[in-house]
């Protein structure tokens, strides 16, 4: 008499499992049939998701190519993804890397992580902002600036220089291990050499500079009046300006008057199994349409290729003038490598 009951239980279980199987089948159909049967193109993106997400989703809608996007954290921006790509070199998971700076991309090229591609997007970018071997190209640049609280300081070069002469407890900067602050330090290493940069760095610390985890924190401290001055990027500055905070930006300039202009970079990962889709995404990122979208976004990024100047926001026109005086970053890989090794010893050991 027990056996029929077991059979009934098994029959009931099969009836209950049938709807689950139907749902799973539907999900599989949705992913592989409705979306064209394509596996997602894997994108690692170091640019802020608040700006990059719309660009990437617009690409999906236009092309039907699904994307799986991995963003990085503010604290380890760009460096974390660069190191991950190097670790994954022999078994790559990523197809396209959207970096928010250049020097980490140079490191990836040196390690053989990048696949050359010179498509129509590459062709429209000026030589100073792309790799002669076709491994990467720049687009949508930011600049290093001093963000000034105008309730405390005049937004002038002279006022900034005077504020940096004494106590720095009301001056903020991000730790230079990551992102554009690392690029900034690499520029100084290249121009000054190790000894002078280390002395400058220790002097700022001795005079009480506030070191925080990222540029966004620098922006917040200055915007709220906790600090009078900080080192950050133009995209973070504009967030404070748009929020109605009493802030202004003064470009960071090195000894010869050059600014520090830092492009995003787009590149394809060597070993991708989706080369055609990867090329289409890179061409889109390097297009005039994409550069204009980034210029019109809240980040106000500077187009590097030709665009219709009349449609650029006024803020971006000013930045474009600053960007034209940008110091060359293309040969800074040795400086970055040496500078980062020193910084890791200083901060992490």
CATH number of the domain where residue 120 is located: 3.40.190.10
Instruction: Determine, yes or no, domain membership for 216.
Output: yes
Q: Diameter of the chain by CA atoms? A: 97
Classify strands 114-115 and 96-99 as parallel, antiparallel or unpaired: unpaired
Same domain for 133 and 281, yes or no, is: yes
Residues 102, 187 contacting (CB under 8 angstroms):
no
Same domain for 119 and 150, yes or no, is: no
Same domain for 159 and 252, yes or no, is: yes
Same domain for 88 and 153, yes or no, is: no
Same domain for 278 and 137, yes or no, is: yes
The per-residue pLDDT string of the chain (349 residues; one tens digit each, 9 = 90 and over) reads 444 444 454 454 445 545 444 434 434 334 433 445 679 999 999 998 988 999 999 999 999 999 999 998 655 556 789 999 999 999 999 999 999 999 999 999 999 999 999 999 999 999 999 999 999 999 999 999 999 999 999 999 999 999 999 999 999 999 999 889 999 999 999 999 999 999 999 999 999 999 999 999 999 999 999 999 999 999 999 999 999 999 999 999 999 999 999 999 999 999 999 999 999 999 999 999 999 999 999 999 999 999 998 999 999 999 999 999 999 999 999 999 999 999 999 998 7
Same domain for 148 and 246, yes or no, is: yes
Instruction: Determine, yes or no, domain membership for 33.
Output: no
Instruction: Determine, yes or no, domain membership for 279.
Output: yes
Instruction: Determine, yes or no, domain membership for 29.
Output: no
pLDDT of residue 35: 44
User: Of 259, 281, 297, which residue sits at a domain end?
Assistant: 259
How would you class 204 by CB atoms within 10 Å of its CB: exposed for 0-12, middle for 13-18, buried for 19 or more? middle
Same domain for 148 and 123, yes or no, is: no
CA distance 335 to 347: 18
Same domain for 122 and 271, yes or no, is: yes
Instruction: Determine, yes or no, domain membership for 152.
Output: yes
Instruction: Determine, yes or no, domain membership for 8.
Output: no
CB within 8 Å of 192: residues ≥ 6 apart:
200
Same domain for 157 and 126, yes or no, is: no
pLDDT of residue 37: 62
Domain count, the chain: 2
Q: Which two tokens stand for residue 47?
A: 């640019």
Q: Which two tokens stand for residue 198?
A: 């280390």
Nearest Cα to Cα of residue 265 among 77, 70, 69, 99:
99
Q: Which domain holds residue 237?
A: 143-259
Same domain for 92 and 176, yes or no, is: no
Same domain for 252 and 264, yes or no, is: no
CB within 8 Å of 239: residues ≥ 6 apart:
216, 219, 298
Instruction: Determine, yes or no, domain membership for 335.
Output: no
Nearest Cα to Cα of residue 260 among 196, 335, 182:
182
Same domain for 96 and 200, yes or no, is: no
Instruction: Determine, yes or no, domain membership for 270.
Output: yes
């Amino acid at each position: 008499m027990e056996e029929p009951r077991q059979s009934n239980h098994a029959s009931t279980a099969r009836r209950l499992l049938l709807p689950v199987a139907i749902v799973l089948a539907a999900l599989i159909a949705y992913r592989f049939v409705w979306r064209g049967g394509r596996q997602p193109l894997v994108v690692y993106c170091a640019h802020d998701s608040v700006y990059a997400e719309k660009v990437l989703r617009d690409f999906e809608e236009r092309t039907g190519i699904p994307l799986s996007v991995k963003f990085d954290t503010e604290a380890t921006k760009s460096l974390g993804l660069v190191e991950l790509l190097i670790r994954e070199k022999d078994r790559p998971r990523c197809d396209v890397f959207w970096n928010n700076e250049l020097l980490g991309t140079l490191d990836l090229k040196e390690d053989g992580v990048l696949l050359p591609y010179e498509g129509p997007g590459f062709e429209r970018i000026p030589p100073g902002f792309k790799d002669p071997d076709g491994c990467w190209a720049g687009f949508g640049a930011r600049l290093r600036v001093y963000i000034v609280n105008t309730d405390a300081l005049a937004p002038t070069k002279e006022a900034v220089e005077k504020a940096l002469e004494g106590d720095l407890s009301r001056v903020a900067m991000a730790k230079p291990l990551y992102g554009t602050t690392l690029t900034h330090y690499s520029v100084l290493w290249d121009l000054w050499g190790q000894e002078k940069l280390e002395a400058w760095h220790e002097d700022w610390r001795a005079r009480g500079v506030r070191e925080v985890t990222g540029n966004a924190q620098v922006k917040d401290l200055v915007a709220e009046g906790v600090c009078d001055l900080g080192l950050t990027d133009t995209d973070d500055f504009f967030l404070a300006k748009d929020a109605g905070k009493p802030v202004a930006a003064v470009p960071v300039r090195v000894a010869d008057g050059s600014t520090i202009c830092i492009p995003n970079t787009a590149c394809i990962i060597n070993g991708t199994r989706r080369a055609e889709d990867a090329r289409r995404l890179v061409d889109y990122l390097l297009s005039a349409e994409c550069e204009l979208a980034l210029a019109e976004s809240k980040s106000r990024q500077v187009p590097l290729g030709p665009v219709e100047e009349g449609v650029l926001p006024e803020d971006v026109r000013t930045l474009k003038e600053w960007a034209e005086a940008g110091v060359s970053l293309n040969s800074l890989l040795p400086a970055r490598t040496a500078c980062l090794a020193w910084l890791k010893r200083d901060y992490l050991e």
